[in-house]
Amino acid sequence: MSEISRLQRYVPARQDLRVRLRLSVTEFLLTPLLMVLGAVALALGSVLVDMSSPDWPPDVRNLFLRLFPHENLLGMLRVIATGLVTVTTLTISALLVAISHTATTVAPVVFDQFLRRRANQAYFGYVAGCATYTYLVMAVSRPRWAGVGALLAVVLAAGALVLLVFMAYVMIDQMRPTSVVRSIQDLAFTARLRQLPLLARSRTRPVVDGDSLPVTTRATGYVVDISTARLERLLAPTGDAVEVAFQVRIGDLLAYGDTVARIRGGDEESRRRVADDVLDCVTIDRVRNADVDPDHAIEQLGNIAWAATSTRQNPDVALASVGALRDLSARCAAAGVPEAEAYGGPLPVVYDDALQRRIVAALVDLVVVSTSSRQHQTCAVALSTLAEILPQLPDRDRDLAVKSLQRALPATLSHVASVEMGRGLARLRAAFDTIGREDMADQVRDMGPRLVRESGLEDDLIDHLDDNDITGPRPFRFR
């Protein structure tokens, strides 16, 4: 093998255009393209009707021409064609400015949400379809025709102007940070439901001992999906003798040489056969797929809260994001994971579900970053949310959460001794008592007097709140 041929092995492969096209179509293009194709079909139908108009009964044709003079309709077509292009250009320009301004507040995730909303796709598809229809009718219109196609173009243009009023409000409403947060929250839970087949059919820990055969990747990008149907076909000949333990999760970023999975059990030939084909069950792309990646939505919510907390902005944005994270954690914990038989039975596959750990990590980050902006409200709500999440976590996730909190709690001493901070610390102490971590409960208990002393106060912040109900109204709200 020549030196050049050897180096070619390390050159990144070109991105699969089919995967890129599929993602762009599902993300935005499908609805507008279908509406444009519908407009083309409508133009064809109206042209056929106009072509048959010379054969209409004279009374009907004359009445139609008196009501809708052909010259007027053709003049309107020219105005409509120019007007639609102008309105569309101005609308897109204004929206780009609004989206850019909003993106500085709630992070660039607003672009993703704007593209994925069906109402936005339908609006742009309708306007593009109207313009396409108008130009097609103008191109084939004849003076002897009745002008049914031109009249229909006028009706469609009027509908576009009326729709513009409604879409202006809808799109502005979408720019509200709370609307962005709620959209991401809904998307996260939908993605969680679509991920359940993989979680239900896989194991949380390896059960097959012995040497493992690592499977590495030459691709670069995010793990977009792991197909359980392909895994089932791949592992059918070996049964439970061979186990595939994934070292990555959906949403992880891979680089050249990263280990994707380890193959254990069976004979060497069976392990080699599974190792050669297991990468076909993993889809890797340059862009994450929010449809089956709830961790992506969690990171978006965490980034929104982080940006709002670190830059001394209005804390309502961060508080709404924290509320969405808490709601998502509670819903996923309550729903659980169905039995494997609901999706075709268990597979000898090991996959680590880290959704709750991702939520905890996002909240712990807020506790730390709130010190830079002194947003004690956000810190207090993050502590209260962690207190509610801790008891419902599995043992492994709970231990990791406690270790993370142990390192982050000293950051709370930089805040003022507000009532919100006292309530958050009191709830966290009660949560540590509930899960049997008296050492951490004592640590939190000692933070109350320290926080009070550093704020120049005298009474014990947590003792005062222990005498009252600490489960009062949540200090965050959605619009």
> Looking up tokens 């010259």, which residue turns up?
71
Neighbouring CB atoms inside 10 A of 90's CB total 10
Burial category of 34 from C-beta neighbours within 10 Å (exposed 0-12, middle 13-18, buried 19 and up): middle
Residue 478 has pLDDT above 50, yes or no: no
User: What is the torsion angle, in degrees rounded to the nearest 10, for the CA atoms of residue 134, residue 139, residue 143 and residue 144?
Assistant: -90
Best CA proximity match to 419, nearest among 347, 385, 346, 470: 470
> Looking up tokens 């030939």, which residue turns up?
269
Best CA proximity match to 336, nearest among 188, 199, 198: 199
Residue 479 has pLDDT above 50, yes or no: no
- pLDDT confidence bin for 2, thresholds 50/70/90: low
Pairing of strands 253-254, 349-350: unpaired
pLDDT of residue 455: 65
For 277-330, the pLDDT digits (tens) are 999 999 888 878 777 889 988 998 998 888 888 876 778 888 889 999 999 999
Tokens of 1: 């093998």
- Amino acid making up residue 16: D
Q: Which range, 54-63, 85-94, 399-408, 442-451, has the best average confidence (pLDDT)? A: 399-408
**What are the Cα distances from residue 145, in Å, to 69, 74, 78, 233?**
11, 11, 17, 61
For 183-214, the pLDDT digits (tens) are 888 889 989 999 999 999 999 889 988 888 99
Contact between 105 and 116 under an 8 Å Cβ cutoff? The reply is no
Best CA proximity match to 179, nearest among 320, 336, 52, 364: 320
- Amino acid making up residue 42: L
pTM over 0.85: no
